[in-house]
Structure 1
């Protein structure tokens, strides 16, 4: 039976593939099934046929998976967020650990026995400290809204994207990622903006005023930052001030920042900002350390999970107090600050200048004096720093992993120990494979930083051969 686009098939889901889709095989051909859970028998429709694989969507669940559990969220059937929430959490962990092993072995030709048991997230609901919501001039109607059989108007919407559709936004009524307070504030802002007389941004026409709402929280400080992003409109200042007054009266908001962004890219980032009330930032605590979080700064989205992960980084670094440590892709300096009390000197390197500025603020907040930071292209900066050979190098690159030139630079530097943090097992496998001629892989520790999603964080320990 050949697989063809448009064909309907009945298949059994064998396993999860990296990325979260279910995997089945039809006459030896690989079929990725969106929403498929291992053990389930489903009727699917093939949506795409490629040379080495095909993709399909589920039409009917004939026999559910024994690992399946009822979704906890009202929006589960169409939201692009927690799309593993139908899988029992214990089984999520087992599959994530298995995916790390398989990825290292198959993509990196590495020893899968180095993978240790996965560390679960301390919290599986309300674990995120940041959520980005998008406005839409023509909101997408949820199935429950259509079922009411009342006249609906495609007016201003504020919420999350429908899975797989960048141009469809539905109004969020509940969400278990950040906090109940965040959802209440989302609804407050949405109702205000709908009644403001100003239009939401239309992604197709590239016009409109309201663009994004970002809510950031300090989970350990109970502080909350509202970041509203709009296009430029000098006549809207009074409307923004009125919204600020409303938010301040809720007692749930520590600071409110309004930014403008007139670019065509759909990125929740402010080009120019003003603070309506509060200091324009919030603080968070991880362990004994304080961190300042501004509207555009990067910070681990699962702070309580990050505290455990950073503890493992420190353990793997094996510091005794006399070492020089390089922290590459250091961001706002959170890992640098965690390891600084245990090292002689820490040198952070980061491409984004604003992040380096935040890193210096954070070391000052914590009274740390043995950290320095460098902004610039990492492969160039480590060449300039190579005369001062570090004992330990910590890396925490974005999902794309490390540039091959950075990896060659690490080999030339010849630090005795590497600690590699990664949010993408596939690029981690590639990078570790490229390091294998100079470094021995000792241990890999998976961490579940994003429950109910297929995303996996890892810490790998390597020792120079």
Structure 2
């Protein structure tokens, strides 16, 4: 068989990042050179299938063929795994924000636990070690305290948009990148990762700057104004930050944007403009200007308050960060006379 050929597969195991594993006879894919393929029941060749889960029976298209494995994508699900669920988001499968939204959450935890165990056994060579159960996230949706959206002057069109008779602006997008495509963005109007308020900010920002005919920074020509919209929302306080990342200053425009945005979402506590003059596609400015509030927000983990700036590192799932740190403290069994180094920790939440 060769690239783009299809074959029917039964998924028996989970890999990582939304890939299922099937095993087949090597002769089916790549017969031994200078020899006639022979009948064999030995399934000694691995096929990684993007978007497939154990229990699926699928028709898959080969995208990459290597000596010891192949990569494929689903063309058709012949019979689905019992663990599949209906994804909540209409952009799932196209957007790169979520990998397993169509898989039961408890099953996700089980697969992740198996992957961690195999890592310790096969890579670290450990055996007979204690293995704790994963602590599940309390929220499956609206759990992130930070979302980073991108502007693009090339909009990725979905299959529905391509087949639509509606007039679509292909030169303005605000949303999330398509996996492995750096210059196109999927224009989204709702996301279930942060909050409904975040969606309001996202949609207002798009409408405002399109209405102003604001230019979008191009990663190819390095010309244009708008780069990113970053929203940080505290989980344990009422603080809410909007950070507009641009390639240059436009004081009058950002002041008007701030004023109009606060009318729509008055809960916003600070608005910042990061000015990024570098060519690299990063949502971090060389400097920043504050247009509303103090220029930072506060959030709380366990009994401690943390001041978070626009470019601070802070664990994106606040509630799970609390579980992580509580567990680390329990395991550490600290007595109070130890010296602890808090390195590479962003806002120093561990200390």
Residue 59 (str. 1) matches residue 57 (str. 2): no
Deviation at 1:36, TM superposition (A): 0.9
1:246 aligns with: 260
Contact kept in structure 2, 1:15 and 1:24, CA below 8 Å: yes
Cα distance in 2 for residues equivalent to 1:144 and 1:252: 35
1:325 to 318, 336, 340: 340
TM-score when scaled to structure 1? 0.69
Cα distance in 2 for residues equivalent to 1:112 and 1:299: 35
Contact kept in structure 2, 1:100 and 1:115, CA below 8 Å: no
Residue deviations 1:344-386 (CA, integer Å, cap 9, x gap): xxxxxxxxxxxxxxxxxxxxxxxxxxxxxxxxxxxxxxxxxxx
1:121 aligns with: 137
1:179 aligns with: 195
Q: 1:197 to 1:18 in 2, by over 3 A?
A: closer
1:261 to 276, 285, 290: 276
Report the secondary structure of 2:49's partner residue: strand
Report the secondary structure of 2:156's partner residue: coil
Deviation at 1:328, TM superposition (A): 3.3
Q: How does 1:77-116 map to 2 (within 5 A)?
A: 77-111=93-127, 113-116=129-132
Cα distance in 1 for residues equivalent to 2:299 and 2:128: 36
Cα distance in 1 for residues equivalent to 2:158 and 2:218: 19
Structure 1 runs of 4+ aligned residues shifted over 4 Å read none
Report the secondary structure of 2:231's partner residue: strand
Highest RCO, 1 vs 2 (Cα 8 Å, sep ≥ 6): 1
Cα distance in 1 for residues equivalent to 2:176 and 2:269: 24
Q: 1:317 to 1:187 in 2, by over 3 A?
A: same
Cα distance in 2 for residues equivalent to 1:287 and 1:171: 37
Residue segments in structure 2 that go unaligned for 5+ positions in a row: 26-43
Residue deviations 1:88-139 (CA, integer Å, cap 9, x gap): 1111111111111011111111126422111101211100000000001121
Contact kept in structure 2, 1:105 and 1:112, CA below 8 Å: no
Residue segments in structure 1 that go unaligned for 5+ positions in a row: 337-465
1:294 aligns with: 309
Q: 1:18 to 1:114 in 2, by over 3 A?
A: farther
Residue deviations 1:385-442 (CA, integer Å, cap 9, x gap): xxxxxxxxxxxxxxxxxxxxxxxxxxxxxxxxxxxxxxxxxxxxxxxxxxxxxxxxxx
Deviation at 1:52, TM superposition (A): 2.5
Report the secondary structure of 1:273's partner residue: strand
Residue deviations 1:193-218 (CA, integer Å, cap 9, x gap): 11112211223332211000000010
Q: How does 1:120-139 map to 2 (within 5 A)?
A: 120-139=136-155
1:40 to 45, 56, 74: 56
1:22 to 11, 16, 20: 20
Cα distance in 1 for residues equivalent to 2:343 and 2:168: 52
Cα distance in 1 for residues equivalent to 2:114 and 2:322: 24
Cα distance in 2 for residues equivalent to 1:197 and 1:330: 40
1:31 aligns with: 47
Residue 315 (str. 1) matches residue 330 (str. 2): yes
Deviation at 1:43, TM superposition (A): 0.8
Greater shift, 116-125 or 293-302, is seen at 116-125
The number of equivalent residue pairs is 332
Report the secondary structure of 1:103's partner residue: helix
Q: How does 1:371-382 map to 2 (within 5 A)?
A: none
Contact kept in structure 2, 1:102 and 1:112, CA below 8 Å: no
Contact kept in structure 2, 1:137 and 1:155, CA below 8 Å: yes
Contact kept in structure 2, 1:261 and 1:269, CA below 8 Å: yes
Cα distance in 1 for residues equivalent to 2:176 and 2:185: 5
Contact kept in structure 1, 2:154 and 2:183, CA below 8 Å: no
Cα distance in 1 for residues equivalent to 2:17 and 2:74: 17
Q: How does 1:166-205 map to 2 (within 5 A)?
A: 166-205=182-221
Cα distance in 2 for residues equivalent to 1:18 and 1:106: 15
Contact kept in structure 2, 1:127 and 1:178, CA below 8 Å: yes
Cα distance in 2 for residues equivalent to 1:163 and 1:64: 24
1:10 aligns with: 8
Q: Which has the higher helix share?
A: 1
